[in-house]
Structure 1
Amino acid sequence: MMVRSLFPIAIFAGVSLVAAAPALADVKAGVDAWSRGDYTTAVGEWREPAEKGDADAQFNLGQAYKLGRGVKQDLARAEELFGKAAAHGHLQASDNYGLLLFQRGDHARAMPFINAAAGRGDPRAQYLLGLAHFNGDNVTKDWVRAYALVSLAQQAGLPQAASALAQMDQHIPIEQRQQSVILASHLAGEAEATRARQVTAADLASGTPRAVPGPAASMSASEGASPTAIPRMPSIASAEQALAEASRVAGTDSPGGAGADFTRPRVPVVTSVPRTATPMPDPTPVPAPATARPAPKPAPAPAPAPAPPAAKSGNWRVQLGAFGVPGNADALWNRVKGRPELSGHGKMLEPAGRLTKLQAGGFASRADAQAACSRLAAGGFDCLAVRK
């Protein structure tokens, strides 16, 4: 099966700024000016410290060039500034640098930065890395990891991820999707630990404690958000903006498929083999020898039905609802029982006064139950992790 790679472009458009600390007065003054909407003054405050190598000033000035505020928009200059700040260990600049490299098509150089950002839980990077693993572009093809990464991006609220998962559902076997649920839980835990460790290392280097930026913070910042001294990832552009930008860059491709058309199969062109122009003489007919008619072969035995998934055990459950009419619990179970998150997890009906709770049991840990709930919630089902 051939799948076409997709490289969605406009997946970050928000702005967050940081004040250097111990703060150079110019950097802090620039952040204050930006907060007032005085972008020209802010840019003027950041130029000198950026030229002297201050990573926060370089990052903030890069944001101004990326957004075209206080200066003419210049993505090449923004990329240069993000690259300089990234070389000084600025995590947000590193993330933006990788995204800009990817945006202009330098995927091989971008991938180490994308991989590092995904390891810190950045949903934009998780989405791009997931597509790369799905297609095998500059990384190994790994559908379990691909589905897990795009699932995490979807859970963080990245709009393109939902349509990507819908396309992946058509190609990735259910067994691999089931494996991805557990992997996604592990990746989320590793990302949280990595973020905390790297921010702590930056604190020790600068002498200033900072809040740990998480995926939720990156989703909450809007393009018009006020700058703050607490580092936050830039927010993600709307799906409409992403489609429009993808159309501009891709050219002939329909923008309606941007974000999800990486699974569109290409139709191979078949070249016919030319026949010889010289006619061959008809051979003298030779009577065919008489042959015994072979005995009919018995019909093959039907393939055995696949064994049901083994029942899983554990003290944690996911609760899907509480119903005054027990039949409604059965109806909901019929809708969800085929989902990969619930494979091997048995249906449980728990009476609670006049209500009947619908649960699925056998989860080994709270993290496993919460991971299943996250995927169920993404599919439109209410869910709650509860202990037995």
Structure 2
Amino acid sequence: MGLRIVNSAMAIGLVAIAAVPAQASVKAGIDAWQRGDSARAIAIWRGLAEKGDSDAAFNLGQAYRLGRGVAADSGQAKKWFERAARAGHLDAQVSLGLLLFDSGSRREGLDWLERAAERGEPRALLVVGTALFNGDDLPPDPVKGYAYVSRAAAQGLPPAKETLAEMDRVMPLSQRQKGVAMAQQAARPGKPATKTPSKAAATPKASVSAPVAAAKTTAVAAARGVWRIQLGAFSSKANAQSLYARLQGKLGGAQAFYVPVGEMTRLQAGPFESRAFASAACARLKPQPCFALEAR
């Protein structure tokens, strides 16, 4: 029996909105969205998306997917996701792929997810890797599937860790060893990054509530450890630096990490000594989208 493909957008952390301030007006839309003024955000993003701004198009697609500020409309969500995805927007490629996959257009969805997986995106690696393992809609290749899921798990994606554990129980050791070697090859310089999580951060409503004991995170606690928080994915490093400068005072001394993934730059901060400390840092940044990840 094949492994279950985790194809639910919610199950693998599809975000509600991208904190991707490609320019001041896109950020103005994000600010309006976070204030609850969805109509204003939609108006800003629509104008920019119609002029070819991929970040705005992605955010507009998310609004239609969620039915926030506009009536929920999967057709419109697909339209705007596809427009951004064709411009190379990594998160749009994932969102479009998952939307198509979940709606029954599995082969078309996998085409987009394969593109994102080649760029090291963990959610895409998980779905494509599981499909390769099962031979569902893709030629069966359990070794490559194991490599893909391993890379997703290495980036801290919980469903990928669960799927990898299932693979470990049913795959021969020799195949797993080949998969590990393939994953390590992909992690070498010049290859897609394998230890950074997805793009975009989690929706503010989905922020993890850290234990009270972890709420007193300090610069000392942030000075060691393998945990980071991810604050967004950006079409330019300058925008990532701008967001870090704005949030730095709330980060308790955590330093910035600018992780290149294709043409995107992911902003991470840390290190933190545990998931609890990292989650506590995220909680203090609300409503800024944020999630914790292990960066071993």
Q: 1:218 aligns with which of 198, 215, 223?
A: 198
Contact 2:7 2:98 in 1 (8 A): no
SS at match of 1:138: coil
Q: Give the aligned partner of residue 133 of structure 1.
A: 132
Cα deviation for residue 146 of structure 1 reads 1.3
Cα deviation for residue 99 of structure 1 reads 1.7
The structure where helix makes up a greater share of residues is 2
Q: Does residue 1:18 correspond to 2:15, yes or no?
A: no
Q: Give the aligned partner of residue 147 of structure 2.
A: 148
Contact 1:157 1:219 in 2 (8 A): no
Change (3 A) 1:183 1:220: same
Cα deviation for residue 194 of structure 1 reads 4.4
The letter of the residue matching 2:14 is A
In structure 2, what is the Cα distance between the partners aligned to 1:161 and 1:87?
27
Change (3 A) 1:38 1:136: same
**C-alpha deviations, 1:71-118, integer Å up to 9, x for none?**
233333211110112223323222221121112121111222111111
Aligned residues: 211
Q: Which runs of 5 or more residues in structure 1 are unaligned?
A: 196-213, 233-377, 379-383
In structure 1, what is the Cα distance between the partners aligned to 2:178 and 2:148?
12
1:293-332, aligned counterparts within 5 Å? none
The letter of the residue matching 2:31 is D
The percentage of aligned residue pairs carrying the same residue is 43
Contact 1:65 1:78 in 2 (8 A): yes
Contact 1:101 1:109 in 2 (8 A): yes
Q: Give the aligned partner of residue 246 of structure 2.
A: none
Q: Give the aligned partner of residue 66 of structure 1.
A: 65
Structure with larger Rg? 1
Cα deviation for residue 7 of structure 1 reads 5.0
In structure 2, what is the Cα distance between the partners aligned to 1:221 and 1:215?
15
Q: Give the aligned partner of residue 241 of structure 2.
A: none
Change (3 A) 1:220 1:51: closer
Change (3 A) 1:121 1:4: closer
Contact 1:19 1:228 in 2 (8 A): no
In structure 1, what is the Cα distance between the partners aligned to 2:150 and 2:34?
35
Change (3 A) 1:4 1:90: closer
In structure 2, what is the Cα distance between the partners aligned to 1:229 and 1:152?
19
Change (3 A) 1:75 1:32: same
Q: Give the aligned partner of residue 174 of structure 2.
A: 175
Contact 1:39 1:70 in 2 (8 A): yes
The letter of the residue matching 1:19 is P
In structure 1, what is the Cα distance between the partners aligned to 2:146 and 2:233?
35
C-alpha RMSD over aligned residues: 3.1
**C-alpha deviations, 1:330-387, integer Å up to 9, x for none?**
xxxxxxxxxxxxxxxxxxxxxxxxxxxxxxxxxxxxxxxxxxxxxxxx9xxxxx9xxx
Q: Give the aligned partner of residue 105 of structure 1.
A: 104
TM-score (norm 1): 0.48
Change (3 A) 1:165 1:56: closer
Contact 2:7 2:101 in 1 (8 A): no
Q: Give the aligned partner of residue 84 of structure 2.
A: 85
In structure 2, what is the Cα distance between the partners aligned to 1:7 and 1:138?
15
Contact 1:18 1:227 in 2 (8 A): no
Q: Give the aligned partner of residue 160 of structure 2.
A: 161
Change (3 A) 1:229 1:19: farther
**C-alpha deviations, 1:107-165, integer Å up to 9, x for none?**
11122211111111111111111111111123221111111211221222222223222
TM-score (norm 2): 0.62
In structure 1, what is the Cα distance between the partners aligned to 2:21 and 2:84?
13
Q: Which runs of 5 or more residues in structure 2 are unaligned?
A: 208-229, 237-293
Contact 1:31 1:228 in 2 (8 A): no
Change (3 A) 1:57 1:215: farther
Cα deviation for residue 189 of structure 1 reads 3.1
In structure 2, what is the Cα distance between the partners aligned to 1:231 and 1:34?
20
The letter of the residue matching 1:17 is A
